[in-house]
C-alpha cells in the first residue's frame, strides 16, 4: 500500500517547474544522443532523501498518471514513494515487467536486465527505461562503447558501492540486450545531478 | 519549371495581421464579448466544448471569438489547449439518473415517473425567421413552475426492471475505460472506446450516418426512450481522502435509444441500446451518437455488416473533424515537387501518344498511297 503523502513533509520538487522540466528533458535528450557523455541536471529542486537529484528531476519531468515505475527496494521509502505519488501520480508497480520506468538505488544490486519489459519489434518503445544510481561515473574506465551518437568510440566506467561485481556482470547482459534490437531496454546511470545515457543501440566491450 | 514563391515569411506575418483586422471587423461596431458568446450563442459553445472534448464555457467562447465563428476551427483551438492541461485524476461516472433536469422527454412512454418536461426547445417553434430580432428588445421572463422533487428514473431502468432490455454494461469498478487521446486507436475497438470517439465526433458526420441507418443502411428501428438535459455533479475520489468529493457541476444531454430486440434459443428477446452523451444542450448530437453507437454494435449483436454506419473502421477513422480538416486542408501545402512529377508524366504520355499518332498516320498514309498506286496500276 503506497503511503498517503504527508503534505507537511513531502519534498517540494522543482522550484520553477516549466523551465526545470525543459532543461532536464534537454539534458536527458543529449545523454541519449551522445551515449557515454556525462550531462548535468541544473534545475533547482528539493528532492526526497535517498533519491539522486537527477532521478528526482527525471521523475518530475517524465512521470505522470499514465506512467508506471518500479522502485528498487532501498528506494521504497515513505519519502520517495509519497514524493512520486504526490507530484506525478505515476503507478508504482511491483513487477518490473509492468514498468515503463525503473529507478535502481545505489543501495541495491541491479536486477537482471532481462527481468524488465523488452518491448516488441513493432512496439519497441514499450520497454522499460532503467535509471541506475552509481557511486562513481568516472571511475576506472573499463568499458569502451561504440555506436550511433558516438564518434568512433568512447571510454567509460561506473562503479557501484553495494554491487562490486556490477561492472563485470553488466557487460554480458548489455550485449544480450543489444542483440534484441529494436526491442530491449535503455539505461541511464545517475550520480547526484549527473547522468550518462546508454541507448540500446550502443555496443559496449571490456577495456 | 515552376519555382517556389519567395518572400513567404513576410506574407505570412501580413496574413496574420489581416486576419486579426478582419476578426475585429469595423471598429465602429462594438466588439463581441466573451460573455455575449457564452450566453447568447450557447449552442455554439456547447458544440465546441463537446467536440473539443473540454468542458469550459469561457474557453469555448474565446475559441469561437478567435475563430470568428468557424466552429471546426474553434474546436481545433480547444483541442490544442486541452493537450497542455495536466491531469489530476479521473472522475466517477456521471450519475445522470440524479440529474437536475431542465428538459426530459420520452417517445416510448407517454406517462412516466418524473413526467415529460419540455424545457426550452426549438422543436415547437414554426421555424419562421423572427424579424423582430433585427433590433434588440427586452424579453419578458418565462413562467416558472415549482420544482416537484419527483425522482425521474431513467426510462431504460424501468424496462430493465421487467427484464425487457439488455443491461447497460458492466459495473465492474476495477475496469478503466480506454483513452484514445493516450493510446492509438486499434481495431476491433471496445464499445467504451467507440463511445469516446463518437462523443468527440463531428456532429454533421454522425447526423448523416444516423440518418442513413433510419433510411435503411443497416436499419435498427430505433425509439428515443429518453432524452434528458440538465446539470450533473462531478465527483472524484482523491487519493488522500478515500471517499468521493464533489468538484463541480456540468450540464450534459443524454440520449437512450432502444432498438430492435435480439433473442436466441437460450435467451429471451430483449431491446438493445444505443447511447449518446454530449456537453451542454446537444440533442441532435446525442441522438445521432446513440443511433451510430447501436449501429456499430452490429457484429456484437450478430447482425450482418453491410452499411457504412455499421463499419467500425469507416465511422471511427473519419469522425474526428480536427483530423479530417487537417488532412483535407493539408492539400493547400506546397505539393510542387509531387505535381511536377505528375506534370512530366502526363506530358511524356502526350508526346508518346502524338508520336504514335504521327507514326500511325504515316503508316496509314503509306498504306493509302500504296493502295492508291495499286488501284492505279
* Chain B CB contacts of A89 below 8 Å: 87-89
CA nearest to A5 within chain B: B240
Looking at residue B5, its pLDDT comes to 57
Q: Is some CB atom of chain A closer than 8 A to the CB atom of B182? A: yes
Share of chain A above pLDDT 70, in %: 98
Which cell numbers in the block locate residue B336? 510542387
Q: Is some CB atom of chain A closer than 8 A to the CB atom of B215? A: no
Nearest partner of A9 among A84, A78, A56, judged by Cα: A78
Is B239 in contact with A4 (CB distance < 8 Å)?
yes
Q: Which residue has the higher pLDDT, A57 or B147?
A: A57
Say which residue the cell 527525471 belongs to.
Answer: A58
* Chain B CB contacts of A7 below 8 Å: 240
Looking at residue B319, its pLDDT comes to 98
Is B276 in contact with B285 (CB distance < 8 Å)?
yes
Q: What is the ipTM of this complex?
A: 0.70
Tell me whether residues A65 and B240 touch, CB distance under 8 A: no
Q: Which residue has the higher pLDDT, A167 or B79?
A: B79
User: φ, ψ for residue A156 (rounded to 5)?
Assistant: -150, 165
Looking at residue A119, its pLDDT comes to 96
3-state class of B169 per DSSP?
A: coil
pLDDT at A5 over 70: no
Q: Of A46-55, A91-100, A179-188, B217-226, which range is least confident? A: B217-226
Angle formed at CA B315 by CA B310 and CA B321, multiple of 5 degrees: 160
Q: Of A24-28, A129-133, A165-169, B38-42, which range is least confident? A: A165-169
- Prediction pTM value: 0.84
Cα–Cα distance for residue pair B272/B275, rounded to 1 Å: 10
Is B289 in contact with B198 (CB distance < 8 Å)?
yes
The low-confidence residues of chain B, meaning pLDDT below 50, are 1-2
Tell me whether residues B88 and A66 touch, CB distance under 8 A: no
Cα–Cα distance for residue pair B324/B306, rounded to 1 Å: 24
Tell me whether residues A5 and B87 touch, CB distance under 8 A: no
Q: Is some CB atom of chain B closer than 8 A to the CB atom of A64? A: yes
Question: Quick one: which H or E segment has residue B18?
Answer: helix B8-24
* Chain A CB contacts of B87 below 8 Å: 64-65, 89
CA nearest to A6 within chain B: B240
Condensed to tens digits (0 to 9), the pLDDT of residues A14-53 reads 999 999 999 999 999 999 999 999 999 999 999 999 999 9
pLDDT at A129 over 50: yes
Tell me whether residues A64 and B88 touch, CB distance under 8 A: no
Q: Is some CB atom of chain B closer than 8 A to the CB atom of A91? A: no
Neighbours of A118 (CB within 10 A): 17
Q: Is some CB atom of chain A closer than 8 A to the CB atom of B124? A: no
Q: Which residue has the higher pLDDT, A168 or A26?
A: A26
Say which residue the cell 541544473 belongs to.
Answer: A42
Which of A10, A13, A65, A68 has the most B C-beta neighbours within 10 Å, making it the best mutation to test the interface with B? A65
Strand A154-156 to strand B223-236: parallel, antiparallel, or no bridges (unpaired)? unpaired
| Gap from B239 CA to chain A (nearest CA, Å) | 7
Share of chain A above pLDDT 90, in %: 84
Looking at residue B269, its pLDDT comes to 86
Condensed to tens digits (0 to 9), the pLDDT of residues B324-349 reads 999 999 999 989 999 999 999 999 99
| Range A169-191 average pLDDT | 96
Q: What is the 3-state secondary structure (H, E, C) of B202-265?
A: CHHHHHHHHHHHHCCCCCCCCEEEEEEEEEEEEEECCCCCCCCEEEEEEEEEEEEEEEEEECCC
Helix intervals (H) in chain A: 17-33, 53-62, 78-88, 166-178
Tell me whether residues A89 and B182 touch, CB distance under 8 A: no
Looking at residue B147, its pLDDT comes to 78
Looking at residue B1, its pLDDT comes to 45
- Overall size of chain A counted in residues: 207
Looking at residue A1, its pLDDT comes to 44
Is A159 in contact with A166 (CB distance < 8 Å)?
yes
Tell me whether residues B239 and A4 touch, CB distance under 8 A: yes
Amino acid at each position: 500500500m503506497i503511503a498517503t503523502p504527508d503534505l507537511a513533509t513531502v519534498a517540494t520538487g522543482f522550484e520553477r517547474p516549466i523551465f526545470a522540466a525543459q532543461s532536464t528533458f534537454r539534458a536527458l535528450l543529449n545523454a541519449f544522443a551522445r551515449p557515454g557523455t556525462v550531462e548535468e541536471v541544473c534545475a533547482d529542486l528539493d528532492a526526497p532523501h535517498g533519491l539522486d537529484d537527477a532521478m528526482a528531476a527525471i521523475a518530475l519531468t517524465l512521470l505522470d498518471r499514465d506512467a508506471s515505475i518500479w522502485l528498487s527496494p532501498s528506494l521504497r521509502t515513505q519519502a520517495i514513494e509519497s514524493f512520486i505519488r504526490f507530484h506525478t501520480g505515476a503507478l508504482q508497480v511491483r513487477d518490473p515487467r509492468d514498468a515503463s520506468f525503473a529507478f535502481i538505488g545505489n543501495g541495491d544490486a541491479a536486477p537482471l536486465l532481462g527481468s524488465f519489459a523488452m518491448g516488441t519489434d513493432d512496439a519497441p518503445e514499450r520497454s522499460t527505461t532503467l535509471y541506475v544510481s552509481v557511486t562513481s561515473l568516472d571511475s576506472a574506465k573499463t568499458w569502451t562503447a561504440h555506436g550511433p551518437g558516438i564518434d568512433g568510440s568512447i571510454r567509460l566506467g561506473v562503479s557501484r558501492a553495494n554491487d562490486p561485481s556490477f561492472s563485470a556482470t553488466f557487460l554480458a547482459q548489455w550485449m544480450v540486450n543489444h542483440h534484441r534490437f529494436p526491442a530491449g531496454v535503455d539505461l541511464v546511470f545517475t550520480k547526484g545531478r549527473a547522468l550518462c545515457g546508454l541507448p540500446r543501440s550502443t555496443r559496449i566491450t571490456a577495456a | 519549371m515552376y519555382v517556389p514563391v519567395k518572400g513567404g515569411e513576410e506574407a505570412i506575418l501580413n496574413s496574420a495581421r489581416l486576419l486579426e483586422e478582419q476578426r475585429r471587423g469595423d471598429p465602429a461596431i462594438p466588439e463581441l464579448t466573451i460573455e455575449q458568446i457564452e450566453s447568447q450563442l450557447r449552442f455554439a459553445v456547447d458544440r465546441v466544448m463537446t467536440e473539443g472534448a473540454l468542458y469550459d464555457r469561457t474557453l469555448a467562447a474565446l475559441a469561437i471569438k478567435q475563430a470568428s465563428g468557424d466552429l471546426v476551427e474553434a474546436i481545433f483551438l480547444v483541442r490544442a489547449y486541452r493537450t497542455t492541461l495536466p491531469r489530476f485524476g479521473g472522475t466517477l461516472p456521471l450519475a445522470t439518473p440524479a440529474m437536475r433536469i431542465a428538459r426530459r422527454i420520452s417517445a416510448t412512454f407517454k406517462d412516466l415517473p418524473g413526467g415529460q418536461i419540455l424545457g426550452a426547445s426549438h422543436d415547437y417553434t414554426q421555424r419562421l425567421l423572427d424579424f423582430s430580432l433585427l433590433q434588440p428588445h427586452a424579453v419578458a421572463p418565462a413562467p416558472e413552475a415549482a420544482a416537484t422533487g419527483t425522482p425521474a428514473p431513467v426510462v431504460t431502468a424501468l424496462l430493465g426492471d421487467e427484464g425487457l432490455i439488455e443491461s447497460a454494461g458492466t459495473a465492474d469498478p476495477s475496469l478503466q475505460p480506454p483513452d484514445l487521446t493516450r493510446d492509438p486507436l486499434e481495431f476491433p475497438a471496445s464499445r467504451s472506446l467507440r463511445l469516446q470517439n463518437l462523443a468527440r465526433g463531428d456532429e454533421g458526420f454522425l447526423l448523416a450516418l444516423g440518418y442513413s441507418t433510419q433510411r435503411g443502411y443497416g436499419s435498427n428501428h430505433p425509439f428515443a426512450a429518453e432524452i434528458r438535459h440538465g446539470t450533473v455533479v462531478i465527483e472524484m475520489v482523491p487519493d488522500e481522502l478515500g471517499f468521493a468529493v464533489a468538484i463541480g457541476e456540468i450540464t450534459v444531454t443524454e440520449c437512450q435509444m432502444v432498438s430492435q430486440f435480439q433473442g436466441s434459443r437460450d435467451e429471451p428477446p430483449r431491446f438493445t441500446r444505443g447511447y449518446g452523451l454530449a456537453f451542454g444542450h446537444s440533442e441532435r448530437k446525442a441522438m445521432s451518437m446513440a443511433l451510430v453507437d447501436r449501429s456499430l454494435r452490429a457484429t456484437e449483436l450478430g447482425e450482418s455488416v453491410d452499411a457504412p454506419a455499421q463499419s467500425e473502421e469507416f465511422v471511427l477513422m473519419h469522425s474526428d473533424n480536427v483530423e479530417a480538416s487537417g488532412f483535407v486542408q493539408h492539400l493547400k501545402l506546397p505539393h510542387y515537387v509531387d505535381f511536377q512529377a505528375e506534370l512530366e508524366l502526363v506530358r511524356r504520355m502526350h508526346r508518346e501518344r502524338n508520336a504514335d499518332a504521327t507514326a500511325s498516320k504515316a503508316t496509314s498514309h503509306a498504306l493509302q498511297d500504296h493502295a492508291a498506286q495499286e488501284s492505279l496500276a
